[in-house]
Structure 1
Amino acid sequence: MIMVDWETRPASAADVEAAAELRAVVLREDLERLGRYDERRVRQRLRDGFAPAHTRVIEVAGEFAGCVALRPAEDGHWLEHFYLAPHLQGSGIGTAVLRGLLERCDREGATVRLNVLQGSPARRLYERHGFTLEAEDPVDVFMVRAPASAVRDA
């Protein structure tokens, strides 16, 4: 694994199109396999749910390389729009970004939920970080992770 120099910054409204395009690239294979790929809808769903206030942009060498959102919910947070450029997947960036977000949620005592497409390799990343199956349907797998302190105390 080659560690790449990266950083995150707060997202702005100007990041929405780069994020929408990355979503289309990253999800295409899984969505096609599931018979759900739609060229317009895959981008529009990100545009519709993009909240810069809850989103971080991942940059490598000053260039947009990914994004992740942690949206507040009644009982914790939803991890959403977590996309990393394909050529950077497996570099350790996604793991480091996820670990940082989860450490913050653990300090807050917050439960984290997410959904991932059926058959997505990303599910293994989430399972390694303590997410477990909550529910699933033919397209999505819904996962949940209790804060680490609650896991230790259980």
Structure 2
Amino acid sequence: MDMRTRLPLPASAPHFEPASADDFESLLQIRLAAMRSSLEQIGRFDPLRVRRRLADSWIPAMTQHIVCEGARVGFYMLRRTDHALVLQHLYLMPAAQGRGLGSAVMRMLIMESARTGLPLRVTALRDSPANDFYLKHDFVRCSSDEFDLHYVRAPERPAATHPFAG
């Protein structure tokens, strides 16, 4: 599929399929396509670096394909630590972006954060559109470094345990 072609709006919510070690190359292609524009804007697009960074951090057992209308359009990797849920990767093919799929994934991850009582953490490349996406989902910037911004989102309390719940 041509990555610049816009897919029609989904008729149904995405579903998820577990990734396996055999999926590395296809996930790498999704990551390259999703990050290329942002990395080119800051003069840091290097396919070998993108490959190495994914290989160094990717854990197949913690990774899910994002599937919409029978097509794998992205993936995410959620790592659980003792103190947080860490969204290591969330990438959508450019043609699948802007259709609400990322927000559907984020709603599910926010529910998991509430269920576990753990904050949700994520890192985004400076000047990437992903920063606006995370801010829209109530993440708060907690630190930064030369190339990345680091965010955290406190877990929501279930309505039944909220002190003002009626």
Same fold (TM over 0.5): yes
**2:26 aligned with 1:22, yes or no?**
no
More deviation in 53-62 or 95-104?
A: 53-62
Structure 2 counterpart of 1:35, one-letter code: G
Equivalent residues, number: 152
Instruction: With the length of structure 2 as denominator, give the TM-score of the two structures.
Output: 0.84
**2:10 aligned with 1:9, yes or no?**
no
More deviation in 56-65 or 78-87?
A: 56-65
**Alignment correspondent of 2:44:** 36
**2:100 aligned with 1:98, yes or no?**
no
Contact residue 80 and residue 86 of structure 2 kept, 8 A = yes
SS across alignment from 1:149: coil
Q: Which of 143, 150, 155 does residue 135 from structure 1 map onto?
A: 143
**2:122 aligned with 1:118, yes or no?**
no
Deviation of 1:135 after TM superposition, in Å, equals 0.7
Instruction: With the length of structure 1 as denominator, give the TM-score of the two structures.
Output: 0.90
Structure number, greater radius of gyration = 2
Q: Distance between the aligned counterparts of 2:11 and 2:31, measured in 1?
A: 21
Q: Distance between the aligned counterparts of 2:74 and 2:22, measured in 1?
A: 14
Deviation of 1:35 after TM superposition, in Å, equals 2.1
Q: Distance between the aligned counterparts of 1:85 and 1:4, measured in 2?
A: 18
Contact residue 10 and residue 69 of structure 2 kept, 8 A = no
Q: Distance between the aligned counterparts of 2:149 and 2:57, measured in 1?
A: 19
Deviations 1:80-125 (A, max 9, x none): 2100111010111110011111101111101111100111111111
Deviation of 1:4 after TM superposition, in Å, equals 4.2
Structure 2 counterpart of 1:2, one-letter code: L
**Alignment correspondent of 2:53:** 45
More deviation in 123-132 or 56-65?
A: 56-65
SS across alignment from 2:95: helix
**Bigger proportion of residues as strand:** 1
Contact residue 113 and residue 143 of structure 1 kept, 8 A = yes
Note the aligned Cα RMSD (angstroms): 1.8
Contact residue 10 and residue 68 of structure 2 kept, 8 A = no
Structure 1 counterpart of 2:83, one-letter code: D
Contact residue 78 and residue 87 of structure 2 kept, 8 A = yes
